[in-house]
Structure 1
């Protein structure tokens, strides 16, 4: 791509003003020094005139080319920004449709069943289902308020949370302005989060996990914490499965995973990208 300094804002294709004064002074100095040189050596008038004419012509052509290329660069930058804005709009629209479908299949279906009297709203299972869907709505509101967030990343992480909730794990999730990450990073990162949540569900001896997503100096930082039984650091027992499912996934995308635990103190898994 063409990289220019001091590019005009999107939608303004006009090239920056040509520095006529500076160019005029520089050209005049060159003409004067050449003229003095030709006079000192007694050059023929035709030769002197031809050389000076070529010098002035070169300055004019350089100015025209400068203006043309700056104008074309400004047009290209404006077109790129419009394309990026259109792509961002399409991504937001796709995310909105995804949320609408999820709301239709979960919250709306639950409310319709309760209002129609088809289910007993006081059963433990229905209360748990309502709690899961209320948590989903809270996360959705938080994501909507965070206009700078990476929608692809948040959608992948939300899928991990909802999958864990569907298996009976309660997840308290908080999203705090995570940085944007490439598409080939978002999905493996979310899968590492999925495994960390599965680890809580299967091994922690607790039904509640805490997920925090934030940015730290341009890095994406996600922590999965539980207050379960924990384990002895360095132990290979317990069927935790963190080595392959979490550490290797993070290394594969240039990230890093840190696991901190102690018996009776729960587990904290911190995922960072880039490393």
Structure 2
């Protein structure tokens, strides 16, 4: 396995969700709701305190303070839940239930009926209770709660304990409370569903991304294995089968040793950085490999200096060049001139392996033949390079290997 394949395989095993974070999620939205609810509970409780003290002379000296203290503690619990998210829902449920009990039992705590100008102290906390219910209850329970609180308040205001105001005033106060509560409930439900949809979309995208990474890693690995098998194993076996002279047998033995070393190195490769290979080492490797074949290959021109390249790219260039030369020896025919050139351009490397042999039509090559497709074209693509096969029947063959792959012209891209 090459270094590139290992890196790609490691990427497939990594969890992409660790590096993908949606701007809005259900958890972040619930956290924001908890903080806003805590602020509202503490704020409305503090604002209501002066009105409560003014009403205390008209209320029962025991039950009224007990009720207000219990409700006040529930408000403090909601406020404290901003620092402990796991306690937010229980605190909100407790607050909503205690407020409803305080609202229903308010007439029992009144010692002297309130005047029409006085407002029962639970009025200021009606929407604290409805919003707490909207956040903590199931949607249908929250809807029932938001409908019940205005009704109870209307009945309270019509009674002497609540000031015995007229029906119009009581309805206005009740409708006002109901509208605010229902609006908050609708907003909460809509935002939560939207955030849940974002979570689902993100999870789906991460699953698809992970699957695409695994498929890409599998494809890269398949290309590497196919290339190794074709280059190192099949070529060695074919050469050994055709060896009928001492020189040919010696060459087949050398190719067999190289194949074994190649397979052992591929199996021993592990994850890590992709070290660079000096240009001189890559150049000598290509020249040595193509000039030790059974048929002569002329080295026409070789640049003396060039950039260092990653090991994966160096392996791809050297192996693809050797495979191109092997293909030429096997299929170009007899009395054919073959040559190789290595030069540098645009901070990259360009290798050309060519011959003036019989040539071929690439579209007629069977899919089962791996030499050009796997060992040259796809091998270079896997290393971020480019391989061009230029050939026609009777016109010879030219294999152009480039690393890195040329970037498309921006002006050309804009016209597409």
TM interval, shorter chain, is 0.3 to 0.5
What TM-score does the superposition give when structure 2 sets the normalisation length?
Answer: 0.31
Tell which has more relative contact order, 1 or 2 (C-alpha 8 A, sep 6+). Answer: 2
Structure with greater strand share of residues: 1
Structure with greater helix share of residues: 2
What TM-score does the superposition give when structure 1 sets the normalisation length?
Answer: 0.43
